[in-house]
Chain A
Amino acid sequence: MNVAILASVLFAVGLYGVLTRRDLIAVLASVEVMLGGASVMLVGLATTIESAAAPEAGVVEAVGLFIIILAAAEAAVALGIVMAVARRRRTTRVDDLTEVSG
């Protein structure tokens, strides 16, 4: 149960950062915190909670591996977009990037 509280606190802290940070890179770092919280939840619950349908051997590690792969791809693409935006618009503040087109 402790691990569920820890993971949801980490997720909530990351969510708060995504909502309140005003810089694109800081928003992305907060998204990484959210993803970390989610994987702590997965790993912690899968290995400690008593359940009738215990996961097959290797499933938890495989799913955790997929979370890490997705997060790495997401971070690479998102930071690439941040670089392109910063070069074109000379800012990474989300308040200055409110236009959808143009």
Chain B
Amino acid sequence: MTELLTQVVWWLLAATAVIGALAVVFTKDVMRMAIGLAAFLVAVAGLFLFYALPFLAVVQVFVYVGGVLVLFLFAIMLVHRAEEGRPGLESRHDIGSIALAVGIVVLVVMALRPLREATVVDPTSSGTAALAEMLLGPMLPHFEAAGVLLLLALVAVIVVVGGDDE
């Protein structure tokens, strides 16, 4: 029963992620694209939760749904405001892009086929104590570099967006 429920939850999350991704790529309406992106990001957070990484799921919701998605909505409102009469988002579908996308899936699946799946998700990987030990221990240089990167990104955005008006 629990096994079945686990399967159902996984497939629901997977279906939501794929439908959201398809909406991002194929819809013509810009707001539908944003909602598709939201569904996709929440489903990815749900998958993190499914694989016993609750902290990562919380960060995904905070940063992506609360931050990046709002940034996208602001950009859409500011940029698309002046182009009210336009038919919406356009795509140029072609056979080469389809071949490339399908080829990537086939290559990855073939490359990963020898791997064997463990039946149980390892519950010891969860918990923020281990993450803190890792981030402030062996990964401290990466952690510092990420902080510097965020500062640089902040300065870069201010320069790019607000530089030429004054």
Q: Is this pair of chains taken from one and the same complex?
A: yes
By a beta-carbon cutoff of 8 Å, the part of chain A in contact with chain B is 1-17, 19-23, 25-26, 28-30, 32-33, 36-37, 39-40, 43-51, 54-62, 64-66, 68-77, 79-84, 86, 88, 90, 92-93
Q: Mark B127-151, 1 if CB is under 8 A from A, else 0.
A: 1001111110001001000100110
By the criterion CB–CB under 8 Å, are A6 and B14 in contact?
yes
Residues facing A in B40-75 (CB within 8 A) are 40-41, 44, 47-48, 51-53, 55-56, 59-60, 63-64, 67-68, 71-72, 75
Q: A8-B105, A68-B60 are in contact. Are A49 and B25 (CB under 8 A)?
A: no
A41: min CB distance to chain B, Å: 8
- Say whether A14 contacts B51, CB under 8 Å: no
Given contacts A2-B10, A65-B56, 13 further A-B contacts (CB under 8 A): A1-B113, A15-B101, A19-B96, A22-B92, A36-B44, A44-B51, A57-B125, A61-B131, A62-B139, A68-B63, A69-B149, A71-B64, A77-B160
| Smallest beta-carbon distance A56→chain B, Å | 7
Q: Is the interface of B mostly helix, strand, loop or mixed?
A: helix
In the complex, how many angstroms separate the beta carbon of A27 from the nearest chain B beta carbon? 10
Write 24 A-B pairs (CB below 8 A) sorted by A numbering.
A2-B14, A4-B112, A5-B109, A10-B18, A12-B105, A13-B24, A14-B24, A16-B100, A22-B92, A23-B90, A25-B79, A32-B24, A32-B40, A46-B125, A48-B117, A62-B142, A65-B131, A68-B56, A68-B64, A69-B63, A71-B68, A80-B157, A84-B160, A84-B161
Q: Chain B residues near A76 (CB, 8 Å)? A: 68, 71, 153-154, 157
Known A-B contacts A1-B112, A30-B25; the reply to A20 vs B94 at CB < 8 A is yes
Flag if B156 contacts A77 (CB, 8 Å): yes
